[in-house]
Structure 1
C-alpha cells in the first residue's frame, strides 16, 4: 500500500511541475498537447522542448508548415487565416523576431534555402487569388523575388508551367528545385527544375503503380542522391534517383492505417521522420544506406494528442532539432535530440 501512495505522490509532483512550467512559459493547453511514447527506452531519440517558443500567442492562425534557416538560426512558420500575418520568424531559441504578409494568399509548404551569401524563403501558395497556385521565392525580409507558375490560374500545363495546389518545395545545395504538385488538385506529380527553372525531369500521372501518385504531399533528399516523396493518398513513400528520376522503389508496409503527410531526414542522415496527419503521429524510420532501399522499419513513434494533426515538419541540419507544424493544435512544436544538453529548471526539456 505504501508503494501505491509513493507512486501517486510522484505522479502528482510531476504534474504539478508541468502546470507550474506552463504558467510561466505560455498556455497550458499548447504546452501539454504532445506526449512522447517510445517503443523501447533505448529508442528514445527525441524529446519535446517545452520552452519553444517563448510565447505561443504569436500563433494566430492554422500553422501549416515550418522551415529552418540553419545558417542563421532562424525558424519560419507559415500560417493561414484572415487578417493575420502569414509568415512568422523566430530564433531557434524561441524568440519572436518579425512577421510579414506580402503577396501570400494561402500558404501550404515553406522551405528555406540558406548559404552564407543568400537566404531564400520558398512558399507554395494554394490560394485562389492573384498569387494562388504558384511557388514563390522571397528574400529573408519577405520581398518577392521570383514566381513559378501561372499566378491565379490552376491547371496541368507545363509550358507555361502551371500548378494546381502545389504542396511542398525542396531546394538542394546546388540550387536544383523539387516540387510536389497535387494536394488534392488536378495534378499528381513530382517536378525537378534547374536553377534557371528549366524542367529536368518529372513524374506526372495519377495512379497507384510505380512513379504514379495520389496526393504527393512532401519531398526531401538524402545524402546519397535519393529523392523521397510522401505519396499520401497511396499510403507510401516513393523513392527516385536524384539525377535521372529513375524510380528506385517504395515503402508501404509502415503506413497501413494512413499515408505520410511529411518526410524529412534527421541531421545525421540515420533516420527518416514521417508525420501522419489524421493519426496525430510522428514515426522514426531507419534510413537505408546507398543501394537497394529494402523494407521500412519503424524504431520509435511520437504519439500526439487527438486532433493535433501534424501537417509538415522540418529538421535543423545543424542542431538536429525537429519542428512540427500542427494545424489542429494551431502551433509549432520543437523536439530536440534526447542526449542534447537540458537547460536550467524552468526552461523546458531542451
Structure 2
C-alpha cells in the first residue's frame, strides 16, 4: 500500500515538474519577442490615447517609409504634394540632401541638395502650372538666410522672397528675420509667420502677385501680438490660424482683412503649439507640441465666435522625439510628422481607412 501511494505521489510530482518547465519555457520565449515592430520608422511612436472619441482617430503606419536609412540629418519640415503622391522632407546637416522625396506608399524617390539653402525650417508644397513647387523658409545667418525660396520639385531655384543674408523688418523691400513657415491658400494667397526667435513677430499676407495685403503683429502677448509665431494654416471658412508658440496659444484672424477673431490657450497649459494644420475633412486641427512629444486633435469651430478649444484625441510619442512641424495629405488623409529629436518623419493614417 505504501508503495502504491509513493508511485501516485511520484506521478503527480512529475506532471507538476513538466507543467512548470512548459510555463518557464513560454515565459522565456515571450521575453525574447520584440516590444515594438523592427521597422526603425516606428521608433518614435508610443501610443494613441483618446479624450472624447471612442477610439483613436489615427494610427501609425509602420511601413512608412520603407527605407528610413535615407534620413541622415535633422528632420525639420514635411510637405505633401497636393496633386502627386509625393512627400517632401526637409532636413539639416553637413553634406546631407536638404530635401528628400518619398511616395505616399513609402518608397524613396531621390534627394537633392543646394547651396542656396542654409538652414531649412518650414516647407510647403503647392500646385502650380506646369508642376508642383516647394516653398522653403531659410533661417540661416549666412548669405542666403532670412529668406523664403520657391523651388521646382527637382531643386531648381525659381524665386526668392526677402533680402538674402540681411535680417530686417522692412516691407518695401521685403525683409525677414528667421521666417518660420508659410501657408498658401487655394486662391494662391500666401501667409507668412516671421520669425522664429528673430527681430520680427508678425503675420504677413501676400496676394497672388506677392503684393502685401496686410500685416499684423509685434512682440507681446495681447491680441494680434506674437512671441515666436511658428506655424500658420487656413481653414475652409475664411480664417487664418497661427501657432503663437512663445505665448502658448493659437490665434485666429480673418483671412480677408487680418482682423483678430480670438485666441485659444486653455489646451496648451502643458506645452505650446509648435505646428498647426487641418485634417483632410476639415473637422480637426492637428497640433504638434514639441516639448512634451505630443500631437493633439482639436475640434474646428463653426463660423463666428471661435469659443474655447476642445481636445478630441491625442497621439503620445516617445520621449525626445520632438515633433516639430506636420502636414496632411488632402488625398489620403494621412498625417506626416517631422521629428527633430528622432531625426525622422512618421506617417499616421485615419483609423477608418486602410
Q: Could you tell me which of 239, 242, 250 is aligned with 2:255?
A: 242
For residue 137 of structure 1, what is the aligned residue in structure 2? 150
Is the radius of gyration larger for structure 1 or structure 2? 2
- Aligned CA distance change for structure 1 residues 15 and 43 (closer, same or farther; 3 Å): farther
Q: Could you tell me which of 43, 50, 55 is aligned with 1:39?
A: 50
1:50 and 2:46 correspond: no
For residue 68 of structure 1, what is the aligned residue in structure 2? 80
- 2: distance between equivalents of 1:286 and 1:15? 42
Structure 1: gaps spanning 5 or more residues: 342-350
**What's the offset of the Cα at 1:130?**
1.9
Check conservation: 1:43, 1:299, Cα contact below 8 A. no
For residue 280 of structure 2, what is the aligned residue in structure 1? 267
- 1: distance between equivalents of 2:136 and 2:90? 8
State how 1:100-249 maps to structure 2 within 5 Å. 100-102=112-114, 103-115=116-128, 117-249=130-262
1:334 and 2:351 correspond: no
For residue 19 of structure 2, what is the aligned residue in structure 1? none
- Aligned CA distance change for structure 1 residues 15 and 110 (closer, same or farther; 3 Å): farther
For residue 323 of structure 2, what is the aligned residue in structure 1? 310
- 2: distance between equivalents of 1:144 and 1:288? 39
**What's the offset of the Cα at 1:115?**
5.0
Check conservation: 2:227, 2:247, Cα contact below 8 A. yes
- 2: distance between equivalents of 1:223 and 1:116? 23
SS in 1 for 2:45: coil
1:16 and 2:33 correspond: yes
**What's the offset of the Cα at 1:117?**
3.8
Check conservation: 1:63, 1:330, Cα contact below 8 A. yes
**What's the offset of the Cα at 1:18?**
5.8
**What's the offset of the Cα at 1:15?**
8.7
TM-score, scaled relative to structure 2:
0.89
- Aligned CA distance change for structure 1 residues 146 and 115 (closer, same or farther; 3 Å): closer
**What's the offset of the Cα at 1:13?**
6.1
**What's the offset of the Cα at 1:204?**
2.6
State how 1:70-109 maps to structure 2 within 5 Å. 70-102=82-114, 103-109=116-122
SS in 2 for 1:120: strand
SS in 2 for 1:128: coil
- 2: distance between equivalents of 1:266 and 1:210? 26
CA RMSD between the two structures: 2.2
State how 1:318-329 maps to structure 2 within 5 Å. 318-329=331-342
SS in 2 for 1:306: coil
1:31-83 deviations in Å (ceiling 9; x for gaps): 23212231356141000000000011100010000000031000000000011
TM-score, scaled relative to structure 1:
0.90
- 2: distance between equivalents of 1:116 and 1:42? 43
Residue correspondences, number: 331
